[in-house]
Amino acid sequence: MRKALLLLLIFPLVISAAPYNRNQARAVNEVVFGHVDSVRYISYQDIVTSQRNGWETLLGGVIGGLVGNQFGDGSGREVATAVGVIAGAGIAHERQPTQHVVDYQLVEILIKVDDGRLIDVIQDMDNTMRFSRGDDVRILYFYDGVRVDKTYP
């Protein structure tokens, strides 16, 4: 029960933690030291669909109108331009939104800090820093999240 309560308190910090480049300097509010109690590597996929905002339809209509304007003379050109606008807008509007798969690699680290508390952190996985049970770590608290790094003797 205590672990579940602690997870509920820490989870908002994890959600708001934005990944950052380890070579990027950031102000740290607090540093807490501890030892890794357990590690769980997590991976999941998310299908991301591009959002259409109408610009594709407008652009399709403009291009269709330009192409249609190349045909005919007089009122025939006007009809061809109008057909080109409608066809171009229709084709662009019916175009399927693009989808791509994003793979997320995360690590869940349960840490026993020096004062005896257990803190659970979920963060993006860094292949250059793999965690194991018993590793000495530090928890870095920022204004906008939290990050766990290994400490070396």
Q: What are phi and psi of 25, to 5 degrees?
A: -80, 130
Confidence (pLDDT) at 117: 92
**Residue 122 one-letter amino acid:** I
Tell me how far apart the alpha carbons of residues 36 and 112 are, in angstroms, rounded to a whole number. Answer: 6
Within 10 angstroms of residue 62's Cβ, the number of other Cβ atoms is 15
pLDDT < 50 stretches in the chain: 2-18
Long-range contacts made by residues 5-11, C-beta under 8 angstroms, separation at least 24? 6/117, 6/118, 6/119, 6/120, 7/120, 10/119, 10/120, 10/121, 10/146
Confidence (pLDDT) at 68: 76
